Homo-oligomer: A and B are copies of this chain.
Amino acid sequence: MNDTFLKVCRGEKADYTPIWIMRQAGRYLPQYQEVRSKVDFLTLCKTPELAAKVTIQPVEILGVDAAILFSDILIPLEAIGMGLRFEEEKGPIFDKPIRDIKAVKRLIDINPKEHVPFVLETVKILKKELKVPLIGFSGAPFTLATYMIEGGSSKTYLNTKKMMYTDQQLFKSLMDKLTTNTISYLKGQITSGADAVQLFDSWAGILSPDDYRNFAFPYVLKIISELKTLKVPIIYFVNNCGGLLEIARECGSDVIGIDWRVDLSNAIDRIGKDKVIQGNLEPIILFSDKNQIKKAATDIIQKGKMANGHIFNLGHGILPTTPVDNLKILIDVVHEMG
């Protein structure tokens, strides 16, 4: 197995800079669209053979150094009792958002074997077929809570923050529940064979640093400290982290993922040079040309050398209309230069 990615996660020396791409199994790939044209998104997530197939696609087509389980951060929420559907323009919808303690108490404790067997099955298939490490993942509790409280995406996150400020007990009940479930869910993935896990805190960046410290970060700390005993690398990606790095650096993960809105040198200065970092190319650079992609990637590789290790990635998920050839250029550049 190509273990470059895992070596770098652990802070060990590697021959080159490994690269994988957030949302690398996705709509920009014609081969993914082919599979997706026959089933809806949730069915794809829940059908192990198909989920495994699209997980492998970017490894075979593009030569990335790690695969990431094809799934969605909201899948375990559906499994614990949140009715989930997707609308074309609006994205995910929970028709019954969480607004009181009864709704929290109705949520079950996840038992991955029982409630998301298809996820574990997908991991097992992948472990047999992949020649690169498999990354499992989960949303971080605050990010999951925003979807549950808002009922979907939001511009202002007014309901989430109102609950946070005005009913701290209710908010904490929900976050505690999500923390326990996230630990179980990731342990299930790891036990089934995931070689590393990434915790996606996609919406923590809407919080002030003080609120992040009080209302989101303690739950991340707990999850990471619980998972440490399983000895697989843990990546913590906190999106829009420009104001949060001084707190996030204390999370205890093996790797910290950085979004594109922060200069990587600045991030390394603020996180500490003893940490391994992941990131952080502006995803839309992939709509430009070879020269610009090469220049931007080289710059990030150079900056990444200041850290204890660097895994190349975009600073956010790849966009559905990204030209595949430009992504290939990026991956080749990183493999040559890094």
Contact = CB atoms under 8 A, between A and B. Distances in A.
Contacts of A296: 210
Contacts of A260: 208
A284 interface: yes
Nearest to A246: B266
A22 to B, nearest CB: 14
Interface residues of A, number: 37
B282 A161 contact: yes
B165 A263 contact: no
Nearest to A299: B210
A206 interface: yes
Given A241-B242, A242-B241, A206 B261 contact: yes
A165 B292 contact: yes
Contacts of A157: 284
A249 B210 CA distance: 23
Nearest to A287: B162
Contacts of A161: 282, 284, 287
A165 B261 contact: no
Contacts of A229: none
A166 interface: yes
Contacts of A84: none
Given A208-B282, A210-B299, A284-B156, A289 B240 contact: no
Contact of A166 (B210, B211, B244, B287): B287
Contacts of A211: 282
A319 B161 CA distance: 13
Contacts of A232: none
A287 B210 CA distance: 17
A133 interface: no
B299 A261 contact: no
Interface in A224-259: 240-244, 246
A210 to B, nearest CB: 7
B299 A262 contact: no
Contacts of A208: 260-261, 263, 282, 315
A207 interface: yes
Nearest to A286: B165
A272 interface: no
Given A240-B240, A242-B243, A284-B156, A263 B209 contact: yes
B166 A266 contact: no
Nearest to A281: B208
B165 A287 contact: yes
Given A166-B287, A210-B296, 17 more contacts: A158-B287, A161-B284, A162-B288, A165-B284, A165-B288, A165-B289, A166-B288, A205-B261, A207-B261, A208-B261, A209-B261, A240-B240, A240-B242, A242-B242, A242-B261, A243-B266, A246-B266
17 contacts: A156-B284, A158-B319, A161-B282, A161-B284, A161-B287, A166-B287, A208-B261, A208-B263, A208-B282, A209-B262, A211-B282, A240-B242, A242-B261, A243-B261, A243-B263, A243-B266, A246-B266
